[in-house]
Chains A and B, each alone.
Chain A
């Protein structure tokens, strides 16, 4: 059985419609009207133990809402949600001991207390045996270079420093699942990289299942095998990243650097491909061939071109993951 099972999950927020003016205020006191926002709309997926899943979507897509339901903060409006045989919001005490949560926007630590004291409180809260606590802390401390931060109150840490501390705090009680909502928001390249490597490591070595939301697609590409995209509360894609590429009609291109000046019209006549292929002359020595991944494979094109002309260099351009995801977000298939 899967570790996380989500079936036809919905979350509807009710936003109170405020009427203006004095009369409106009086009406408000007696009778309230609500706007309904369906933030998560009938989504289903399941995640196995040990997976590292990227959960992406544009602003307001419903990512944080999903994470909050998965972590038991919000109660679903309807649908089934089971993690590790527990229902998050119902069996809160038991459940929260099995998960770690980091919200990039907000710290879980106590604002005024030095980091190490926060950790000690967490040890008590989660009833972590002392030897487990110490071995885990020393391991994470080294991995994320936490030593110089431990005696500083949380409010004095920089964003990146705080995030590292939050990450360690979420792992001290040895959770099975780690939920991360934009854990690298606002971090610099080095900060992002160190968190990325850390996540990879704990996923590989400790087998912790990780669900991560982010707007940084490079991160997803580097880290996650599986990707779930959501928009307007609905899941648009769920699968691996390579699958995503083949799933969409994408424009690719090959640029040939030729040795001699070439006769473009003549070449266009000779090179006849099936499907949607266009030739383009960039300058005297460069020829660009645009095609879509559905019609042809690059090898075929290269084979044909080098039969006709002498080639010095070849560059194949892949569509970026940004381009693909942008396509998904804007709802276009082509």
Chain B
């Protein structure tokens, strides 16, 4: 078990370094990707500021600073997810319909791991700079104190958030094994991500329930932020973050593995 883990980890780095090498061949491409990524994030930031300037100081007892913090935090797990899980989007078309999953099944490695590693979107990581800027700005406004422990917790929660997204979207991508011709679920779920960028308490009970227990996007940014905002009300949920991340990714992997048994390859 541990041995398998080490082999996979080692390979992860080997794949990544290979990937970076090929990306470097297209330097202009990479730089353009980085610049557009940064630009996109900056535009969102300006947009937020304008939005809040108009809307006044609070939404449903949340101050602008707090909301900015949550928003800024949410950028981290989302971009980490964009960086390491972009290939989930291609599972139906490239791997299942075109039959490239054959190749994946012929190697003594976890199949999801291989699919994820075959495409990495490093450019997305640049977006985290903007997230960092927003979080710093919000922290200053709210007079938050940062300690080493908090920084480490921050990183841990960001990674948990990535796995929550990862698990949910792995599950959705797995449905292509059963219905390769139907890709409809990905887009609506993608829109759900937006709901996780704001305090769950602003939504109605039904939506709150969904965001917490069905598609647990509330655990990606909102509950982690509540920890840094010293909001004692959500203590239980904060403690549950790693559990939810673990369960989400595990569920995704279980559904993936069930799905692979339905893989039928192609006729030629």
A125 and B22 form a contact (CB under 8 A): no
B223 to chain A, nearest CB (A): 36
B108 and A13 form a contact (CB under 8 A): no
Contact with A along B225-268 (1 / 0, CB 8 A): 00000000000000000000000000000000000010111011
Q: Residues of B with Cβ closer than 8 Å to A?
A: 4, 7, 10-11, 14-15, 18, 21-22, 99-100, 102-103, 105-109, 118, 181, 261, 263-265, 267-268
Stretch at the interface among A97-105, A196-204, A215-223, A273-281: A97-105
Contact with B along A122-161 (1 / 0, CB 8 A): 0011110000000000000000000000000100000000
B109 and A68 form a contact (CB under 8 A): no
A96 and B108 form a contact (CB under 8 A): yes
Point out the residues of chain A lying under 8 angstroms from B7, CB to CB: 127
Point out the residues of chain A lying under 8 angstroms from B4, CB to CB: 93
A113 and B18 form a contact (CB under 8 A): yes
CB-contacts of A176-222 with B (<8 A): none
- Determine whether A94 belongs to the interface, using a CB cutoff of 8 Å to chain B: yes
Q: In whole angstroms, what is the CA distance A105 to B22 when docked? A: 24
Closest to A72 in B: B105
B141 to chain A, nearest CB (A): 46
Point out the residues of chain A lying under 8 angstroms from B22, CB to CB: 112-113, 153
Chain A interface secondary structure, helix, strand, loop or mixed? mixed
Query: Given A75-B261, A113-B22, A127-B7, A108 and B103 touching (CB < 8 A)?
Result: yes
A249 to chain B, nearest CB (A): 35
Count, chain A residues at interface, CB 8 A: 31
Q: In whole angstroms, what is the CA distance A108 to B10 when docked? A: 21
Partner of A105 from the list B11, B105, B268 (CB cut-off 8 Å) is B268
Closest to A39 in B: B267
A93 and B108 form a contact (CB under 8 A): yes
Partner of A103 from the list B102, B107, B118, B263 (CB cut-off 8 Å) is B102
B108 and A68 form a contact (CB under 8 A): no
Given contacts A16-B181, A92-B105, A113-B18, 9 further A-B contacts (CB under 8 A): A74-B265, A93-B108, A101-B106, A117-B18, A121-B18, A124-B10, A125-B108, A126-B108, A153-B22
Query: Given A113-B22, A124-B10, A108 and B108 touching (CB < 8 A)?
Result: no
B66 to chain A, nearest CB (A): 43
Closest to B262 in A: A75
Point out the residues of chain A lying under 8 angstroms from B181, CB to CB: 16
Partner of A68 from the list B15, B100, B265 (CB cut-off 8 Å) is B265
